[in-house]
């Protein structure tokens, strides 16, 4: 009986706090403080949802990668994604540019670039090759090492 009562209370919580509906048009983004209360935005349930998000390993999702050449003949790559976590996500990315044979084009200015994205939000970044010989790329990510 206690189990049935617990399940009923959990179901009532989900129904009463509202569903997490997204806009029907992706070009319209409604922030948490503007839309209806949900389990992630409710002040009572937020710590539990954030902890669960961390335990489940929610993180960033890359949704699109676009590659073009600019007027100078340099390869440009735009990365578009979404942070699925209920916490801000800080990470670093490193781009390796590859020539026709697949070899890495070395550059003295290559380094890990820090990046931060808010909780449950879209993000994008763009990288530009330093050599017109670049025909392909690899982007690696890692947890931001400066975050404690």
Reported as a single tens digit per residue, the pLDDT across 6-33 is: 655 555 554 444 444 343 333 333 334 3
Q: Which domains does the chain have, with CATH numbers?
A: 59-143 (2.60.40.3230)
Reported as a single tens digit per residue, the pLDDT across 52-68 is: 655 555 678 888 889 99
Higher pLDDT, 71 or 33: 71
Structure confidence at residue 103 (pLDDT) = 93
Structure confidence at residue 113 (pLDDT) = 92
Q: Is the pTM of this model over 0.85?
A: no
Query: Among 49, 54, 29, which residue's Cα sits nearest to residue 38?
Result: 49
Q: Where are the alpha helices (DSSP H) in the chain?
A: 2-17, 46-56
Q: In DSSP terms, which residues pair with 6 in a beta bridge?
A: none
Q: Alpha-carbon distance 65 to 76, whole Å?
A: 10
- Strand extents, DSSP E, 31-112: 60-69, 75-83, 89-98
Q: Alpha-carbon distance 83 to 147, whole Å?
A: 17
Structure confidence at residue 19 (pLDDT) = 41
């Amino acid at each position: 009986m206690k189990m049935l009562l617990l399940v009923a209370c959990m179901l009532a919580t989900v129904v009463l706090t509202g569903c997490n509906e997204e806009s029907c048009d992706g070009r319209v983004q409604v922030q948490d403080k503007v839309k209806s209360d949900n389990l992630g935005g409710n002040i009572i349930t937020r710590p539990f949802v954030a902890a669960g998000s961390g335990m489940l390993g929610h993180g960033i999702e890359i949704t699109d990668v676009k590659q073009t050449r600019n007027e100078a003949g340099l390869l440009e790559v735009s990365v578009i994604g979404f942070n699925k976590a209920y916490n801000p996500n800080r990470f670093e990315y490193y781009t390796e540019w590859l020539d026709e044979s697949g070899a890495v084009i070395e550059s003295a200015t290559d380094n890990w670039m820090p990046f931060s994205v808010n909780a449950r939000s879209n993000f994008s970044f763009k990288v530009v090759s330093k050599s017109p010989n670049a025909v392909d790329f690899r982007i690696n990510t890692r947890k931001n090492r400066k975050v404690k």
